[in-house]
Amino acid sequence: MPLDMDIREQLIETVRRFVAERLRPLEAQVSEQDAVPDDVTEEMKQLGLYGLSIPEQYGGLDLSMEDECLVAVELGRTSPAFRSAFGTNVGIGSQGLVMFGTDEQKQKYLPGIASGEIITSFALTEPEAGSDSANVQTRAIKDGDHYVLNGAKRFITNANKAHLFTVMARTDPEKAGGGGVSAFLVERDLPGLSVGKPEKKMGQQGAHICDVIFDNVRVPAENRLGREGEGFKVAMQVLDRGRLHISAVCVGVAERLIKDCVEYASERRQFGQPISNFQLIQGMIADSKTEALAARALTMETARKRDAGQSVTMEAAAAKYFASEMVGRVADRAVQIFGGAGYVADHGIERLYRDVRIFRIYEGTSQIQQVVIARETLKRGG
């Protein structure tokens, strides 16, 4: 539900100060140690960041999509690893449960998710099912009052810390595509479930992705999420919301980079004057600012449409596509404006350049967003 304007401003200001005063000074440390400090994680729990999208009755803040996006923009002004620590609880790891869970499932899990006591993960991607998300091969075979899961998931965010996985598995091997896939709430401590070591990544050190293996894992039938065969529907609706959240984060990173560029260009002198005086530098700043403003406008407009109950599958894909591509271009220009200083680690520009690259890949690659945008546009007749 939308926040009162005064409360909204208080929340945004609180997050803004937390980012500026607490998180940004730790960026280099988190990157070097590949870990977010435990005390910072506890502070994020106390601020309610783990429960931004969880209904109030379960202890969350129950933010509207617009309010969540405004908070996500502020969180984008620091290393994305910090947001990733609780991002699955806010988005893909919890929203299937919020949208499709039974009252009993919600009562059991959502309070812990909102407080951060329960960390969630969304287990969809497999070695042969990434962009082709309907090609899930992990099997879930009904056996009495349980389903037996076998298979492997890949690149699962926060898997090494997760207590609860939303798992997509094929319950009908005879039915091709998404129609044979169901969703399950799978607890970490079930026998047969194992998690691999965190992958070494190009960027976003401090945010971890791992393989998750299911070897005859017996999941109670009561932990199926939605009806049998609805898993793909669950996944797609969860991703609609997640794509808007990521779009807002991209806007925040871009705005931070633009501010850094303006400050540096105003101080850095060449040929006897600040480089901000040179029109080719101004051109890069102008392009970055224009694209960031456009991404913000598209993201917020789409968030408001979703809050109004409209279908935003196409618009969410367009926002994620544009915003993720935009922040990549802004980061590239930032390296160029900083020159040699942008290529070394001192200013953090090269780190953000690497960090933002994943935005064009996860929660649907740019190419998948293009497919969704075209498909939905054709459905609507233009």
CB 354 within 8 A of CB 361: no
Alpha-carbon distances of 272 from 97, 276, 341, rounded to whole Å: 60, 12, 19
SS3 at position 7 = helix
> Distance between CA 370 and CA 364 in Å, rounded?
10
CB 184 within 8 A of CB 225: yes
Count of beta carbons in the 10 Å neighbourhood of residue 284: 20
CB 106 within 8 A of CB 232: no
Backbone φ and ψ for 225, nearest 5 degrees, come out as -100, 115
From the candidates 128, 350, 363, 376, which is the catalytic residue?
363
The DSSP symbol for 22 reads I
CB 130 within 8 A of CB 136: no
Phi-psi region for residue 319, left (φ > 0), alpha (ψ -120 to 50) or beta? alpha
| Overall size of the chain counted in residues | 382
363 is catalytic: yes
Active site residues: 363
